[in-house]
Chains A and B, each alone.
Chain A
């Protein structure tokens, strides 16, 4: 069995090759692979854009949250125009709108006033607001001069600009998902680790408990929990309460994944090797097992965010989640909760589009991350 020893040759091959990849950690490899997933990258940019909007909502929205112009209640979306009688304009403008009553039904409707043109301008002065509650200002990213209106997505029954309200609502709707997922993450990780680590009757108890929790229909459970929130709470307390309610079911899936991963990983040879090397259980858990399923957990968290957002939307839509004056996409949709709205003011349903975009983008990112984290797809 005397074979020529070939390791010198092998080593040279390795040395002359692309060495950067060999010293790359799993996270770097994952990132390199994720970058190649175009859909996920695009979705990532959409998500970043949405969160930027949420962070700077006061500045980005043309009106403030409760800026009422009752004269323009239920105004349909105004279209950005580039072409007028005078020819093509480089900069977009809107026509003024005028409310008139139908002579027979007396229903109010709006007509374009072609006489009035309002250029959409950047950094205009409008309704004053406190930016992040820090300082007072009245500069908005875009808007029209006084006298004109800019309702790109129409208005609600009090004449409040829907686009502005959606932009403000994104702050609540997008963060409730993150906060809720963070809470589920903490619950799920701790309970899953305890379950998988100790095993035995503790594991049995936790798993049966999870089964019972999961066998509840989620909407009635949420409703019951949301109804238990005291009505005297401030909007902020309600917000926190709702996230806890949402994460109450969300953690179960994660806890099971964590438990399953621990059970399978602790049988892996590298865990046995660490044990035989004399490593403590704590070290094996934190240095070997946890890092091994972290990428998996992050993927499932990404996929859990849209569930949270949808949960908030559904609860608020049913009137059990957030309530005005707190504004989220679900709260906005509740206002479109009748046949009349759907028939005559269909633009009130536009928050749905934002919900869909967000949920899809999160799902695409999750898919991309899952592919990137999968060591077998290389």
Chain B
């Protein structure tokens, strides 16, 4: 444990200056309660010791199967759910604040700098409020803009996300999924945040609309210098938008690498399996399919040693007993596997 923290600080030291967000050993355990008196009988370790840095202006993709804890990481960082342990250092005016422990008034001001885009464009907009009220709410509750000013600002935001500013008085039911997602993006932008946690922002949309929304997100990133934590399960989407990618498995980051490196030369067997599952548009290209057997490990009852060992085709005895540490195998490429460097894993071409 001690070793890993030292090591993480090691790689961060290089780019310490421009790390917007430093997540250290973040944990979120949900208690499993049973019976009349809610006795705690176990813990679901949704997030179990996640550490990474997020640099100003980059997009870090966070991928994993459902249940791997990637959404919980995003929400815990924004403290939409309180973390069980760990630190989330957010740099604000050259000073770092721990979001995980910030008192409420500090948290409120921090939240102006960090916003979220939600997965479900239907659930994330209150059906009983007009677009003006939805996008204007952050402005209203933070006392940023008076009534008339707010309306002008909302029009401006609508235009920025590619919606007609005349839609102001409409209710969400008047919009398609893609349009709703744009409204959600406009709401996230309202307070000029620096960090946006995008929780699978396109996975609920049609493929053609996905591309539009992704392009919009990239455009906005350039325009406002935004930093994204982009949670997704679709690897091609992640490849399109991310600078670096973190792969999660049962609450832990198993591999973290620049996007091309991760796709070309994965170092974790789980990453290899994920990549081999991406559909290949070229039918002539034969490639090895790594089919994983079994289910994703239950985060309430994680396997001993490496959590991936029951499904890993390369597992050795050591993997059942020792928990592997996250090790750096190349600059900026870290992997949590005993066999990294030994295995020759296949990535994706192109």
Which of the 9-residue segments A34-42, A44-52, A62-70, A267-275 touches chain B?
Answer: A267-275
Q: Which residue of B lies closest to A292 (CB)?
A: B128
Q: What's the minimum C-beta distance from A178 to chain B, rounded to whole angstroms?
A: 26
Which residue of B108, B125, B166 contacts A278 across the interface (Cβ within 8 Å)?
Answer: B108
CB-CB under 8 A from A280, the residues of chain B are 141
Q: Which residue of B lies closest to A295 (CB)?
A: B128
**Complex: how many Å from CA A15 to CA B175?**
11
- A29, CB-defined interface residue at 8 Å: yes
Which residue of A10, A11, A269, A278 contacts B112 across the interface (Cβ within 8 Å)?
Answer: A278
Instruction: Give A259-287 interface residues, CB cut-off 8 Å to B.
Output: 268-270, 272-280, 283, 287
Q: What's the minimum C-beta distance from B173 to chain A, rounded to whole angstroms?
A: 7
| A274 lies within 8 A of B171 (CB) | no
Q: What are the interface flags for B182-195 relative to A under an 8 Å C-beta threshold, 1 for contact and 0 otherwise?
A: 00100100110000
| A10 lies within 8 A of B80 (CB) | no
| B164 lies within 8 A of A15 (CB) | yes
Instruction: Give A201-229 interface residues, CB cut-off 8 Å to B.
Output: 204
**Complex: how many Å from CA A279 to CA B214?**
28
Which residue of A6, A11, A22, A273 contacts B116 across the interface (Cβ within 8 Å)?
Answer: A273
CB-CB under 8 A from A278, the residues of chain B are 108, 111-112, 138, 141-142
Q: What's the minimum C-beta distance from B330 to chain A, rounded to whole angstroms?
A: 28
- B17, CB-defined interface residue at 8 Å: no
Given contacts A5-B162, A11-B164, A278-B108, contact A29 B116 (CB under 8 A): no
| A10 lies within 8 A of B179 (CB) | yes
Q: What are the interface flags for B110-146 relative to A under an 8 Å C-beta threshold, 1 for contact and 0 otherwise?
A: 0110111011100111111110000001100110000
| B111 lies within 8 A of A276 (CB) | yes
Q: What's the minimum C-beta distance from B97 to chain A, rounded to whole angstroms?
A: 16
| A273 lies within 8 A of B174 (CB) | no
CB-CB under 8 A from A292, the residues of chain B are 126-128
Which residue of B38, B118, B208, B215 contacts A273 across the interface (Cβ within 8 Å)?
Answer: B118
| A23 lies within 8 A of B138 (CB) | no
Q: Which residue of B lies closest to A28 (CB)?
A: B171
Given contacts A275-B80, A278-B142, A283-B141, contact A291 B164 (CB under 8 A): no
Which residue of B123, B163, B167 contacts A270 across the interface (Cβ within 8 Å)?
Answer: B123
Q: In the complex, how many residue pairs between chain A and chain B have their CB atoms under 8 Å apart?
A: 105
Q: What's the minimum C-beta distance from B79 to chain A, rounded to whole angstroms?
A: 9
| A268 lies within 8 A of B123 (CB) | yes
- Report which B residues bind A (CB closer than 8 A): 38, 75, 78, 80, 108, 111-112, 114-116, 118-120, 123-130, 137-138, 141-142, 162-164, 166-167, 169-171, 173-176, 178-179, 184, 187, 190-191, 208, 211-212, 214-215, 240
Q: List 19 A-B contacts (CB under 8 A).
A: A1-B211, A2-B211, A3-B208, A3-B215, A10-B178, A11-B163, A14-B164, A26-B171, A204-B38, A269-B123, A272-B116, A273-B187, A276-B116, A277-B111, A277-B115, A278-B112, A288-B126, A292-B126, A292-B127
- A85, CB-defined interface residue at 8 Å: no
CB-CB under 8 A from A24, the residues of chain B are 171
CB-CB under 8 A from B78, the residues of chain A are 276
Instruction: Give A331-378 interface residues, CB cut-off 8 Å to B.
Output: 375
Which residue of B127, B138, B162 contacts A7 across the interface (Cβ within 8 Å)?
Answer: B162
| A269 lies within 8 A of B173 (CB) | no
Q: What's the minimum C-beta distance from A302 to chain B, rounded to whole angstroms?
A: 20
| B240 lies within 8 A of A1 (CB) | yes
Instruction: Give A179-201 interface residues, CB cut-off 8 Å to B.
Output: none
- Report which A residues bind B (CB closer than 8 A): 1-3, 5-7, 10-11, 14-15, 21-26, 29, 204, 268-270, 272-280, 283, 287-288, 291-292, 375
CB-CB under 8 A from B162, the residues of chain A are 5, 7
| B137 lies within 8 A of A279 (CB) | yes
Which residue of B38, B128, B170 contacts A22 across the interface (Cβ within 8 Å)?
Answer: B170
| B128 lies within 8 A of A25 (CB) | yes
Given contacts A1-B214, A1-B240, A270-B124, contact A277 B174 (CB under 8 A): no
**Complex: how many Å from CA A1 to CA B118?**
22
**Complex: how many Å from CA A280 to CA B345?**
50
| A14 lies within 8 A of B128 (CB) | no
Q: Which residue of A lies closest to B120 (CB)?
A: A269
Q: Which residue of B lies closest to A29 (CB)?
A: B173
| A5 lies within 8 A of B215 (CB) | yes
Q: What's the minimum C-beta distance from B203 to chain A, rounded to whole angstroms?
A: 14
| B170 lies within 8 A of A23 (CB) | yes
Q: What's the minimum C-beta distance from A7 to chain B, rounded to whole angstroms?
A: 5
Q: What's the minimum C-beta distance from B47 to chain A, rounded to whole angstroms?
A: 17
Q: Which residue of A lies closest to B239 (CB)?
A: A1
Q: Which residue of B lies closest to A204 (CB)?
A: B38
Q: What's the minimum C-beta distance from A370 to chain B, rounded to whole angstroms?
A: 17
Most chain A beta-carbon neighbours within 10 Å: one of B120, B127, B163:
B127
Which residue of A3, A7, A21, A274 contacts B174 across the interface (Cβ within 8 Å)?
Answer: A21
Known A3-B211, A273-B187, A277-B187; further 12 A-B contacts with Cβ < 8 A:
A2-B211, A2-B215, A5-B162, A6-B212, A7-B212, A10-B178, A269-B118, A269-B120, A273-B118, A276-B78, A277-B142, A278-B108
Q: What's the minimum C-beta distance from B35 to chain A, rounded to whole angstroms?
A: 12
CB-CB under 8 A from B119, the residues of chain A are 269
Q: Which residue of A lies closest to B199 (CB)?
A: A269
Q: Which residue of B lies closest to A27 (CB)?
A: B128
Which residue of A272, A279, A288, A375 contacts B80 across the interface (Cβ within 8 Å)?
Answer: A272
**Complex: how many Å from CA A268 to CA B126?**
9
Q: What's the minimum C-beta distance from B218 to chain A, rounded to whole angstroms?
A: 10
Q: What's the minimum C-beta distance from A197 to chain B, rounded to whole angstroms?
A: 17
Q: Which residue of A lies closest to B136 (CB)?
A: A277
Q: Which residue of B lies closest to A268 (CB)?
A: B123
**Complex: how many Å from CA A25 to CA B169?**
10
**Complex: how many Å from CA A10 to CA B163?**
10
CB-CB under 8 A from B240, the residues of chain A are 1
Top-8 shortest CB links A-B: A22-B174, A269-B124, A3-B211, A277-B138, A270-B126, A269-B123, A269-B118, A22-B170
| B118 lies within 8 A of A3 (CB) | no
Q: Which residue of B lies closest to A5 (CB)?
A: B212
